[in-house]
Homo-oligomer: A and B are copies of this chain.
Amino acid sequence: MSIGKIMVVDDDSNICELLRLYLEKEDFEVCIASNGSQALEMFEREKPELILLDIMMPVLDGWQVCREIRKKSSCPIIMLTAKGEVFDKVLGLELGADDYVVKPFEAKEVIARVKAVLRRSGDNKQKSKIVQFDNLYINMENYELRVRGKQIDTPPKEMELIYHLSSNPNRVYTRDQLLDEVWGFEYYGDSRTVDVHVKRLREKLDGVSDRWTLKTVWGVGYKFEVKEDGE
């Protein structure tokens, strides 16, 4: 599943495809424009969450594109600059670009900067990686699960399962839904697998709180049930 759409603008198709390769590996969706005017048009249509923008381009150069986009949007922009143009990039930043990368670049570095800029720009739809209910604390950043403040070592699948369930309290998930959403779409295993993981989680979590419980919905699936106040 895509974690965001990124528009790559460069007249060198090798560079575009290289970036596409790496970005898609990181689960970004990618669209490509090979010149400035195409970029502006595509920007309207695709509404990307971030733009990787080459400076040296035919028709409209990167700065002009940057300036145009800034007139109507604050979409993050990372400039791609050739080695010779080192000091113009400073002005690029002043025009409203968020970061820059100097060619020839390491693809890994570009990815890192994309992530950093997205993180900084904040309004990305990344939901909190922390869930807390009464004396249960789940932190997917650190892969940490705490019960009454005490850390409990938990394997990744169990971790993701309890996180998924508790992120949407009171919602019932069928086993197949859980296999799709936690294990992944391509997974084709026995749905009893879910039961086993639920069982292990219960071993760790049962009787821990009277304010929530990992409940079986008979004939349907499971839910993380949270009790209302005073109930």
Chain A residues near B (Cβ < 8 Å): 87, 90-91, 93-94, 99-100, 106, 108-109, 112-113, 115-117, 119, 141-144, 149-151, 155-156, 170-172, 180, 185-186, 217-220, 223, 228, 231
Inter-chain CA distance A155–B228, complex, in Å, is 22
Contact A218 B155 (CB under 8 A): yes
- Pairwise interchain contact B142-A116, C-beta atoms closer than 8 A: no
User: In the complex the two chains form, is A231's CB within 8 Å of B149's CB?
Assistant: yes
Q: How far is the CA of A116 from the CA of B112 in the complex (A)?
A: 20
* Contacting residue for A186 out of B91, B106, B117, B141, CB 8 A: B106
A-B contact pairs, 20 of them (CB 8 A): A90-B99, A90-B113, A90-B116, A90-B117, A93-B112, A94-B112, A94-B115, A94-B116, A109-B180, A109-B185, A142-B171, A142-B223, A143-B217, A143-B220, A149-B228, A149-B231, A150-B231, A155-B219, A156-B219, A156-B220
Contacts of A142 in B (CB 8 A): 170-172, 223
- List of B residues within 8 angstroms of A90 by Cβ: 99, 112-113, 116-117
* Chain B residue, CB-CB nearest to A144: B170
Task: Give A172 to B149 CA distance when docked, in angstroms.
Answer: 19
Q: Would B112 and A91 count as touching, CB distance under 8 A?
A: yes
Chain B residues whose C-beta falls within 8 Å of the C-beta of A109 in the assembled complex: 91, 180, 185
Q: How far is the CA of A142 from the CA of B171 in the complex (A)?
A: 5
The distance in angstroms between the C-alpha atoms of A150 and B230, with both chains bound, is: 10
CA of A151 to CA of B119 in the docked complex: distance in angstroms? 38
